[in-house]
Amino acid sequence: MTDPAAPDALGVLDRITAVLEAFDGDDRGVGISELALRAGLPKSTVSRIVAGLVRQRYLERDGTLIHLGLRLFELGQLAEMPQELRFAALSVMADLRSATGESVHLAIRDGGEVVFISVMRGRASAAPGSRIGGRAPVHATALGKALLAHAPASELDAVLAEELAAFTPRTVTDPERLRRELAEIRRVGVAVEVDEHAPEVAGAASPVFSPSGRVLAAISVCGTSADFDPERWPPQVRDAARRVEARLSANR
Amino acid sequence: MTDPAAPDALGVLDRITAVLEAFDGDDRGVGISELALRAGLPKSTVSRIVAGLVRQRYLERDGTLIHLGLRLFELGQLAEMPQELRFAALSVMADLRSATGESVHLAIRDGGEVVFISVMRGRASAAPGSRIGGRAPVHATALGKALLAHAPASELDAVLAEELAAFTPRTVTDPERLRRELAEIRRVGVAVEVDEHAPEVAGAASPVFSPSGRVLAAISVCGTSADFDPERWPPQVRDAARRVEARLSANR
DNA sequence: GCCCGGGTTCCACTGAATGGGACGGATGCC
DNA sequence: GGCATCCGTCCCATTCAGTGGAACCCGGGC
């Protein structure tokens, strides 16, 4: 390779994903050079790979600017798991939002982060950053803690092995304290979080299980800390999670 | 290669996309052998590629079954173009549905097919096959004709060069007749279709243009032929298209 | 026990991907 | 007008990564 100390990038496949991963969401259109810079690959290589991906419609190019393409969108829509969950949760989420007036989220876990599968903004529109497909840290969100509480021990260990970043003074950064909290969440069936991820934002989340008992996702209510209702939100999300489970097993 | 008469498959990239393309939506989980069969590649090759894609989270595997993975879903969500359109069209589509009570679709064109970007089912739920990310033939749908009517001449020629499949006795299969119809659609600003794609299904569609005058997408109302209202649907979709355009230029 | 259909691993072969540099074309600045 | 950039593509000798047939492993029927 270029530099023998290169930590990654062994195969073509990894190079291709490196290029795709270089698209950073918010920007509308990137050039080859910029892409090469971000992916850490030579220009000529990126040029070739992009040409191939454009041919396959995974990317689109408008003059000199490259976008993520149509086929990627289509393939993403075919991913069964998120779609099934989203469909089953749709009406439940709508009910939960009208019952609380707050934002309702559905997410699954990917390592130390949660990924939003479905989002319904509440009236207050407290959390603007949460987009479908967006990510948030697992240890600082109600969703994340609900998911982590029922994760396999090995995966939990892997997450706790990493440094837990502090986002606010109230973020739980001590692994042991988090473990105790997760045990409590398992007992109660609901995770809550106040000001741990962002100031003045609070949420309650409950896990959704498959018939075989694996955690599939979590559903949450999320609003300003002032609006947070510790009496009503937890039972409401717990109830919603049960209803999603029922609908999941129904339509298969 | 295996067979010297192989028409495609020149590079690794094409092999990778061939594997991804082999996922046929409806099936929940495919094995390596089946995948190799569909993609027309040797098992060992597919095994290696799948391993790589799983490592990158583009695929997931549950024992022996492979699914499309989370990262694909995320990337699909990042594709700016569909997202922007979908967002701009959301409330317009909702209004259009409540005004007509019928299914409302938003689609873009990809060669000789339309791809649904957003779907709202009507009360009657006439067209069950239309899923987000799904496809339909361009020459037999109102959406398709609205899009084709404003496509660049070269692309129109490319589409008409292919055989136009007949889905019902009323499908337009004659290129010249279709050309005349497209000219009329350009004049009126709305495409209509009755029983051309499927019996007892009708629709009206209107194109959505970018500020620079390029067609971006089309929006349609679609229901049973009996419910089709030639007096009301066309102006309603035309109006909706104008509103989407306005919202598109507003939020950028 | 045997066999069959899954998936993975092995390994010699070779052709496909590589990337530094040259190239052509827009800009933009003096 | 000329000069300096920045962009993306193309070229081509080098070699290394991907290839795929065959062997292999593993689990479940029979």
**Separation of alpha carbons B156 and B137, rounded Å:** 14
**H or E element in which residue B155 lies:** helix B153-161
**Single-letter amino acid, residue B20:** L
Q: What's the CA gap between B244 and A32, in Å, rounded?
A: 32
* B158 in Cβ contact with B221 (< 8 Å): no
Residue in the block written with tokens 């598109």: B248
Mean per-residue pLDDT, B164-173? 96
Integer-rounded Cα Rg, in Å, for chain A is 20
* Residue B113, pLDDT above cutoff 50: yes
Contact criterion met (CB < 8 Å) for B14 and A49: no
Whole-number distance in Å between A71 CA and D26 C1': 37
Q: Hey, is B161 helix, strand or coil?
A: helix
pLDDT at A123: 79
List CB-based contacts (under 7 A) with strand C. Answer: A 1-2, 12, 15, 41-45, 48-49; B 10-13, 31-34, 43-44, 47-48, 50-51, 64
Residue type, B217: A
Coil, strand or helix: which one is B94? helix
In this complex, which of A57, A77, A133 lies closest to B78 when CB atoms are compared? A133
What does the alpha-carbon distance between residue B207 and residue B191 come to, in Å, rounded to a whole number?
9
Between CA A211 and CA A194 the distance in angstroms is: 31
d(Cα B21, Cα B89) in Å, to the nearest integer? 29
Averaged confidence pLDDT in chain A: 90
Look at residue B1 in the predicted model and tell me its pLDDT.
35
Alpha-carbon separation of residue B165 from B149, B159, B202, B204 (angstroms): 18, 12, 18, 20
pLDDT score for B170: 96
**Predicted local confidence at residue A5, as pLDDT:** 36
Rounded CA–C1' distance between B192 and C10, in angstroms? 61
Q: Which residues of A touch B (CB under 8 A)?
A: 11-14, 16-17, 20, 23, 25, 28, 49, 52-53, 56-58, 60, 67-70, 72-82, 108, 110, 115, 117, 131-133
Q: Are A197 and A168 in contact (CB under 8 A)?
A: yes
Per-residue model confidence as pLDDT tens digits over B115-156:
999 999 887 665 556 889 999 999 999 999 999 999 999 899
Q: Return left, alpha or beta for B195; rule: phi > 0 is left, psi -120 to 50 is alpha, else beta.
A: left
In the predicted model, what is the mean pLDDT of residues B166-183? 96
Report the nucleotide nearest the CA of residue B11, measured to C1'.
Answer: C16
User: Going by DSSP bridges, is the β-strand pair A215-224/A135-137 parallel, antiparallel, or unpaired?
Assistant: unpaired
Distance between CA atoms of residues A244 and A90, nearest Å: 9
Q: What is the DSSP letter of B30?
A: B
Is there contact between A17 and strand D, defined as CB under 7 Å from any strand atom?
no
Q: Which nucleotides of C are covered by protein (CB under 7 A)?
A: 5-10, 16-21
At residue B7, the pLDDT reads 43
Q: A157-164: long-range contacts (C-beta < 8 A, 24 or more apart)? A: A158/A111, A158/A112, A159/A111, A159/A112, A162/A112, A164/A139, A164/A140
Q: DSSP character for B109?
A: E
- Tens digit of each residue's pLDDT (9 = 90 or more) over B47-102: 999 999 999 999 999 889 999 999 999 999 999 888 889 989 999 999 999 999 99
CA distance A114 to A137: 6
Beta-ladder partners of A119: A105
Average predicted confidence (pLDDT) for chain B: 90
Question: Which residues in chain A land under pLDDT 50?
Answer: 1-7, 9
CB pair distance less than 8 Å for A68 and B57: no
A3 vs B171: which has the higher pLDDT: B171
Which of B125, B119, B123 shows the shortest CA–CA distance to B89? B119
pLDDT of residue B206: 98
Reduced 3-state DSSP string for chain A? CCCCCCCCCCCHHHHHHHHHHCCCCCCCCECHHHHHHHHCCCHHHHHHHHHHHHHCCCEEEECCEEEECHHHHHHHHHCHHHHHHHHHHHHHHHHHHHHHCCEEEEEEEECCEEEEEEEECCCCCCCCCCCCCCEEEHHHCHHHHHHHHCCCHHHHHHHHHCCCCCCCCCCCCCHHHHHHHHHHHHHHCCEEEECCCCCCEEEEEEEEECCCCCEEEEEEEEEECCCCCCCCHHHHHHHHHHHHHHHHHHCC
Give the Cα separation of B196 and B203 in Å (integer): 10
Please work out, in degrees rounded to the nearest 5, the angle formed at the alpha carbon of residue A107 by the alpha carbons of A103 and A108.
170
- Give me the residue from B14, B58, B131 closest to A17, CB to CB: B58
Q: Which amino acid is at B100?
A: T
How many Å apart are B12 CA and D4 C1'? 39
Whole-number pLDDT of residue A27:
67
Contact A13 B56 (CB under 8 A): yes
Alpha carbons within 13 angstroms on the beta-carbon side of residue A209 total 13
Q: Which residues, listed in sequence order, are joined to residue A201 by a DSSP beta bridge?
A: A224
Residue B25 in this model has a pLDDT that exceeds 90: no
